[in-house]
């Protein structure tokens, strides 16, 4: 599940879901051919909320895009070694990777994200429902039906642009202190020349 305080939670959930995709399909097939009416009812419900092939493909693409962010977060989150010297090279590598994936100009990138808003993907006013779910009493929440397939057109491009734009906005790669720590760290010598070439 997405957890606001747990970095990479979406990436890890999607990666795990891709691993069990075949098992989900086997369960669906098994339930469909079952002789019990309860199992066939479950099969019908599972089929209604099953991801489309476009959604599976998008999830696979997003895992590939977010994989380097996960690795960078893990490396920079180390507590038993110094990480500030790796920060410059790691962020630069992420930006170069996204630059090769995107074709938008900086103006187009900056138009797509509002860095001044407090909104996040972890909106608490959203409730996901399926067709068989009954109306619940309680605070009113915006409902998103999980039975309706997501329009995946251009989402991958928008996410790449948003990530690249966020890196440009939040990281000053020309901060002299960060650059100096990288330049003076002997462990980064190999990485410096690999990045420059």
Res 119 pLDDT > 90: no
Does one domain contain both 88 and 43?
no
**25-56 per-position pLDDT tens digit:** 999 999 999 999 999 999 998 888 888 999 99
Confidence of residue 110 (pLDDT cuts 50, 70, 90): very low
The residue range of the domain holding 39 is 1-50
Does one domain contain both 16 and 110?
no
The pTM (predicted TM-score) of the whole model is: 0.69
- Per the prediction, the chain carries an average pLDDT of 75
Instruction: Please give the average per-residue pLDDT across 83-107, as a whole number.
Output: 72
Residue 174 confidence (pLDDT): 67
**140-185 per-position pLDDT tens digit:** 555 666 677 778 888 888 888 888 888 888 877 666 666 676 667 6
Residue 150 confidence (pLDDT): 78
Cβ-based neighbours of 119, under 8 Å, separated by 6 or more: none
Q: What is the 3-state secondary structure (H, E, C) of 75-96?
A: HHCCCCCCCHHHHHHHHHHHHH
C-alpha–C-alpha distance, residues 74 and 78, integer Å: 7
Secondary structure element (H or E) that encloses residue 101, with its range:
helix 84-101
Does one domain contain both 38 and 75?
no
In Å, what is the CA distance from 28 to each residue of 2, 20, 45, 65, 93? 25, 12, 10, 29, 41
Does one domain contain both 153 and 57?
yes
Does one domain contain both 147 and 191?
yes
Number of domains in the chain: 2
Res 96 pLDDT > 70: yes
C-alpha–C-alpha distance, residues 74 and 77, integer Å: 5
Secondary structure element (H or E) that encloses residue 183, with its range:
helix 176-184
Instruction: Please give the average per-residue pLDDT across 8-35, as a whole number.
Output: 92
The residue from 50, 67, 82 where one domain ends is 50
Nearest alpha carbon to residue 143 among 155, 153, 133? 133
Does one domain contain both 163 and 110?
yes
Q: Is the dihedral of CA 116, 120, 121, 125 positive or negative?
A: negative
Does one domain contain both 5 and 98?
no
- In angstroms, what is the C-alpha Rg of the chain? 22
Q: 195 vs 99, which has greater pLDDT?
A: 99
Res 136 pLDDT > 60: no
Nearest alpha carbon to residue 152 among 50, 52, 69? 52
| DSSP letter assigned to residue 142 | E
Does one domain contain both 108 and 68?
yes
The residue from 9, 27, 50 where one domain ends is 50
């Amino acid at each position: 599940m997405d957890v606001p305080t747990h970095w990479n939670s979406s990436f890890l959930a999607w990666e795990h879901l891709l691993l069990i995709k075949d098992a989900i399909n086997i369960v669906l097939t098994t339930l469909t051919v079952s002789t019990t009416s309860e199992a066939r009812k479950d099969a019908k419900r599972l089929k209604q909320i099953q991801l489309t092939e476009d959604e599976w493909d998008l999830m696979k693409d997003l895992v590939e895009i977010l994989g380097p962010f996960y690795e960078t977060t893990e490396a920079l989150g180390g507590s038993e070694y110094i990480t500030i010297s790796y920060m410059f090279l790691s962020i630069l590598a992420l930006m170069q990777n996204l630059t090769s994936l995107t074709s938008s100009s900086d103006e187009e990138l900056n138009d797509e994200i509002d860095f001044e808003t407090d909104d996040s993907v972890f909106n608490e006013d959203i409730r996901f429902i399926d067709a068989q779910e009954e109306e619940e009493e309680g605070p009113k929440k915006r409902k998103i039906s999980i039975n309706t397939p997501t329009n995946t057109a251009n989402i991958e491009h928008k996410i790449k642009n948003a990530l690249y734009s966020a890196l440009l906005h939040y990281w000053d790669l020309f901060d002299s202190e960060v650059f100096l720590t990288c330049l003076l760290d002997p462990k980064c010598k190999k990485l410096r020349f690999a990045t420059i070439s």
